């Protein structure tokens, strides 16, 4: 299959690497002024969780090909930070590109709002379970064995089965929640609870160090659980029936001190989970999610004392 990837970011390139290794053609959509400076080869260090629950360390090379105006793809993968989907779709339209879009994005938008942004472009909502960072055109990344994916009925695209075939070819499984939009909101609320706790001292300028400190401190993790219980209320205030997401929320229902101990043990023994926590260092993207949850809480006059206190210190810094 022909796969387009918007930009040369971590998430898009990580999945493009997996798809290319599976025999598919991958092309990156970059701005005209960046075409000459785009590398032709990218060294990749991958902690691969597709075949081993503990992950396998692999080194490889990714061959970069660029798309051209008017290209047609089976799928176009978009993973953009900080709510920049409008600009991303304008790039797709300006380049007259065709293909079903896979949205690999955090967003606090409603389905109706995303429908307006996408217009007549067919799209599938999904969420990656991968992470990493790109430095000096070298990719250090983590890839889990599955993605979160909208069910076929709600996705409503004609080539849904082709996407399943694409994922199967790269040995990537699927988890299908009740509703992808609601699942993303829950994911963002959980991350906001964790991030606000990690930055409770008022600074988040070094996410890597903050993540390491949090993962090694069961008391801090217990505080994070309490904060997550608060932030989840913002999702419920949007009309989401949380009973439909019992599996996702179960870890935060048990006593916080027990959850803190269990989470510390998980991070200490699961390299995949702990490494993905430390590799996400895009502060703007991190703050986008936190601010969405914060503003939603204020909008509904929700009582979220722990979360607000931590966020106010971060915002004031």
Task: Name the pairing type of β-strands 98-103 and 2-6.
Answer: unpaired
- The alpha carbon dihedral of 186, 188, 194, 196 has a sign of negative
- Specify whether 59 is located in the same domain as 194: no
- Specify whether 83 is located in the same domain as 217: no
Cα–Cα distances (Å) from 164 to 81, 168, 193, 229, in that order, read 25, 6, 33, 34
pLDDT in tens, 1-30: 999 999 999 999 999 999 999 999 999 999
- Specify whether 102 is located in the same domain as 186: no
Q: What is the pLDDT along the chain (317 residues), one digit of tens a residue?
A: 999 999 999 999 999 999 999 999 999 999 888 888 899 999 999 999 999 988 999 999 999 999 999 999 999 999 987 668 999 999 999 999 999 999 998 899 999 999 999 999 999 999 999 998 888 889 999 999 999 999 999 998 999 999 999 999 999 999 999 999 999 999 999 999 999 998 888 887 788 888 889 889 999 999 999 999 999 999 999 999 999 999 999 999 999 999 999 999 988 888 888 888 877 667 788 888 999 999 999 999 999 999 999 999 988 87
Residue 120 is part of which domain span?
2-176
* Contact present, 279 and 142 (Cβ < 8 Å): yes
Cα–Cα distances (Å) from 4 to 25, 36, 64, 75, in that order, read 9, 18, 11, 6
- Specify whether 192 is located in the same domain as 108: no
Q: How far apart are alpha carbons 190 and 229 in whole angstroms?
A: 8
Q: How far apart are alpha carbons 224 and 196 in whole angstroms?
A: 8
Helices 180-198, 305-316: crossing angle, 10 deg rounding: 70
- Specify whether 95 is located in the same domain as 23: yes
**The tokens of 82 are what?**
């900080």
- Specify whether 307 is located in the same domain as 192: yes
Residue 235's H or E segment, with its range, is: helix 218-236
- Among candidates 189, 188, 185, 208, which has minimal Cα distance to 198? 208
Helix, strand or coil, per DSSP, at residue 285: helix
- Specify whether 48 is located in the same domain as 170: yes
Please give the tally of structural domains in the chain: 2
- Specify whether 144 is located in the same domain as 13: yes
């Amino acid at each position: 299959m022909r796969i387009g990837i918007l930009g040369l970011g971590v998430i898009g390139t990580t999945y493009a690497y997996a798809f290319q290794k599976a025999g598919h053609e991958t092309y990156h959509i970059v701005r005209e002024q960046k075409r000459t400076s785009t590398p032709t080869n990218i060294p990749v260090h991958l902690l691969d969780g597709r075949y081993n629950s503990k992950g396998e360390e692999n080194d490889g090379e990714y061959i970069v090909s660029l798309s051209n105006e008017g290209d047609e793809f089976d799928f176009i993968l978009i993973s953009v930070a900080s709510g920049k989907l409008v600009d991303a779709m304008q790039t797709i339209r300006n380049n007259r590109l065709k293909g079903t879009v896979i949205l690999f994005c955090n967003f606090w938008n409603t389905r109706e709002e995303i429908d307006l942004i996408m217009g007549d472009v067919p799209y599938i909502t999904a969420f990656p379970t991968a992470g990493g960072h790109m430095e000096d055109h070298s990719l250090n990344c983590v890839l889990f064995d599955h993605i979160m994916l909208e069910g076929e009925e709600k996705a409503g695209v004609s080539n849904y089965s082709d996407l399943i075939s694409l994922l199967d070819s790269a040995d990537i499984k699927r988890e299908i929640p009740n509703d992808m939009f609601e699942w993303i909101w829950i994911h963002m609320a959980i991350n906001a609870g964790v991030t606000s706790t990690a930055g409770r001292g008022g600074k988040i300028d070094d996410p890597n160090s903050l993540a390491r400190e949090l993962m090694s401190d069961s008391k801090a993790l217990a505080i994070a659980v309490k904060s997550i219980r608060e932030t989840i209320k913002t999702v419920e205030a949007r009309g989401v029936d949380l009973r439909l997401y019992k599996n996702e929320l179960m870890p935060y229902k048990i006593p916080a001190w027990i959850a803190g101990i269990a989470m510390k043990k998980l991070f200490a023994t699961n390299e995949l989970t702990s490494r993905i926590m430390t590799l996400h260092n895009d502060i703007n993207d991190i703050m986008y999610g936190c601010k969405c949850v914060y503003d939603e809480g204020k909008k509904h006059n929700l009582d979220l004392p722990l979360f607000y206190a931590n966020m106010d210190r971060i915002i004031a810094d």
